[in-house]
């Protein structure tokens, strides 16, 4: 963001957090500083930060797991929920950073309502813990990416979600049962 004039932007539609998850897992403070920097740069404009979308074609050493079919296994929010010790670090960093701007948080690859509810409950737990410790924090609106058919055909099952964002690449891949990196079926994507 250092080289972008914020006056030319309406906000940030999607900040991917995978870039923070390189060869080592980032600690809470590293994540907090990165999120805060973007929020302060945005000067009150909305910034949507997606929780880590690892798995599938985005492996993260020390976080993702080896699977036969990673596109249909522990990916996105499923992986975060399966690794709560890592997810809670990100949640705390986001809650702390939220006081510095207009933050919205989006969960990737949500397939069922329970996944959203579990993630939202972890946000509430971490908010309560930060409050008890006297740490400045703020609960941002929580939304989901629509990337799997189960959400696209039944959005009414997600009434408590603050907002939706269509993830057309993954949604098309799962609706058409055609890998987007396979030239033989590229005409379907």
Please state the domain count of the chain. 1
Residue 161: domain span: 6-188
User: Residue 143: its pLDDT value, please?
Assistant: 98
- The model's pTM is 0.93
In a domain, 47, yes or no: yes
Place of tokens 């959400």: 151
For residue range 167-184, list pLDDT tens digits in order: 999 999 999 998 888 899
Give the domain CATH number at 159: 3.20.20.60
Residue (of 139, 52, 136, 151) closest to 104 by Cα position: 139
Instruction: Write phi, then psi, for 58 (nearest 5 degrees).
Output: -125, 75
Per residue in 118-134, pLDDT (tens digit) is: 999 999 999 999 999 99
- With vertex at residue 81, the alpha carbon angle to CA 152 and CA 36, rounded to the nearest 5 degrees, is 90
């Amino acid at each position: 963001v250092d080289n972008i004039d914020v006056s030319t932007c309406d906000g940030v539609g999607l900040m991917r957090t995978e870039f923070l998850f390189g060869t080592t897992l980032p600690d809470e403070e590293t994540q907090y500083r990165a999120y805060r920097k973007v929020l302060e740069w945005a000067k009150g404009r909305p910034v949507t930060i997606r929780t880590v979308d690892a798995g599938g074609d985005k492996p993260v050493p020390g976080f993702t797991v080896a699977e036969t079919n990673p596109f249909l296994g522990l990916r996105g929010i499923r992986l975060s929920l399966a690794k709560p010790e890592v997810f809670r670090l990100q949640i705390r960093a986001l809650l702390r950073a939220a006081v510095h701007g207009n933050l919205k948080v989006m969960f990737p690859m949500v397939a069922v309502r329970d996944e959203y509810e579990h993630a939202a409950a972890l946000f509430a737990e971490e908010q309560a813990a930060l409050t008890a410790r006297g740490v400045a924090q703020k609960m941002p609106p929580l939304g989901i990416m629509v990337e799997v058919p189960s959400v696209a055909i039944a959005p009414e099952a997600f009434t408590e979600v603050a907002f939706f964002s269509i993830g057309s690449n993954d949604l098309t891949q799962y609706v058409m049962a055609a890998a987007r990196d396979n030239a033989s079926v590229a005409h379907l994507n």
